[in-house]
Structure 1
Amino acid sequence: MGLRRSLQSWGALLSFLASILTVLSTATNYWTRHHGGHSGLWQECNHGICSNMPCQTTLAVTGACMVLAAGFGILGLVMGLRIQCHQGESLRGQSTSALHFLCGLLLLIALAGYTVKNTWNRDVFFSWSYFSGWLALPFSILAGLCFLLADMIVQSTDAISGFPVCL
């Protein structure tokens, strides 16, 4: 297996992990823990009783960015798998990389905003859903880098293929 295929395989694996962590983080209600309960982007649970969160601008922006990040991450995963399986030979890794970088940017915006909103609450502690979102961020960026480097190898191979050089 060549370097290009290895990079594409690592990109697909990292993209898969980033997508799973992003969806898991978005869908679960364990972003913060507090005395007697926990809360997420959509619901707050106190003493075993869960109710919808009241509308807040920061939570709405965080939720929207997380949903968009999950969508772009899954789309990037599908495109990466198509590139790896040679079904989409016309698809370039640049667009797949762009989707992963966009996913990372949206994750960064969502998580930074949520962090700023909840940092000063002394009785609130961040929980595993929040941290899984932060873990998805480097996976998404690394997946984008893998697909970008694999595409650079493809482009450089295409560029020198006409030259009579023995390498």
Structure 2
Amino acid sequence: MLACRIFSVLLTSISLVLLLMALITDYWIVASDAISFMHSGLWKVCRDGNCFVPNITYDYIIATRAFLIMASLTALTAVIVLVASFMPYNCGVLDKPLNASVAAIIAGLFNLTALAVFTAESWQKNVNPKIQVTFQWSFYLGWAAFPMLLLAGIFSLVAHLCSLRSGYNV
């Protein structure tokens, strides 16, 4: 199933880029009122064009960072293993599409954990009705990577199962 492996490489690579963009950008939450505009990410906060690193980092931000970093590293591992699956050498008992499938699904679960923690802690945190607080594009990039990682894991698993059924290992 060459098509499944190619599609899995594409999905995993795109989701890795989305994860890294979500991790480094600072448009996770935007708050605005009639006077000022503020946006924040996992690393810094910007208010009216002036950006700074906050003195106090909340535990949920640290957990979100940690799980997104683990998701990115696991997704990178999946990409490397998937690219290696196109090379003719044998890894013994380890099947490359199966390993990539496991890595992609674990990366998706790390990603889900990070975004669930952030969403749960940020949801309706605003108590002032004059300030509008919304999730923004960095946050949504992280959520977009989640189903792509799961699909990449599924396609890689299908490639593994089809190679077993056809009687050869790739």
**Which residue does 2:146 correspond to in 1?**
137
Partner SS state of residue 115, structure 2: helix
Between Structure 1 and Structure 2, the one with more helix by share is: 1
CA 1:143–1:88 in structure 2 vs 1: closer, same or farther (change >3 Å)? farther
| Cα offset, 1:112, TM superposition | 0.7
Please say if residues 97 and 147 of structure 1, whose CA atoms lie closer than 8 Å, have aligned partners that are also in contact.
yes
CA 1:34–1:10 in structure 2 vs 1: closer, same or farther (change >3 Å)? same
List alignment gaps of at least 5 residues for structure 1.
160-167
**Which residue does 1:154 correspond to in 2?**
163
Q: Report 1:6-85 matches (<5 A).
A: 6-35=3-32, 36-53=37-54, 54-83=56-85, 85=86
CA 1:105–1:135 in structure 2 vs 1: closer, same or farther (change >3 Å)? same
CA 1:129–1:155 in structure 2 vs 1: closer, same or farther (change >3 Å)? same
List alignment gaps of at least 5 residues for structure 2.
127-131
C-alpha distance in 2, partners of 1:69/1:80? 16
| Cα offset, 1:129, TM superposition | 0.3
Q: Report 1:119-138 matches (<5 A).
A: 119-122=123-126, 123-138=132-147
Matched, 1:5 2:26: no
Residue identity matched to 1:42: W
Moved more, 62-71 or 88-97: 88-97
C-alpha distance in 1, partners of 2:58/2:118? 11
**Which residue does 1:162 correspond to in 2?**
none
Please say if residues 108 and 146 of structure 2, whose CA atoms lie closer than 8 Å, have aligned partners that are also in contact.
yes
| Paired residues, number | 155
| Cα offset, 1:11, TM superposition | 0.3
Residue identity matched to 1:19: L
C-alpha distance in 2, partners of 1:99/1:87? 21
Residue identity matched to 2:47: N
Structure 1 residue ranges, 4+ long, deviating more than 3 angstroms after superposition: none
Superposed CA offset, 1:29-51 (max 9, x none): 01010121100011111111111
Partner SS state of residue 167, structure 2: helix
Residue identity matched to 1:48: G
Partner SS state of residue 61, structure 2: helix
**Which residue does 1:110 correspond to in 2?**
114
**TM-score between the two structures when normalised by the length of structure 1:** 0.88
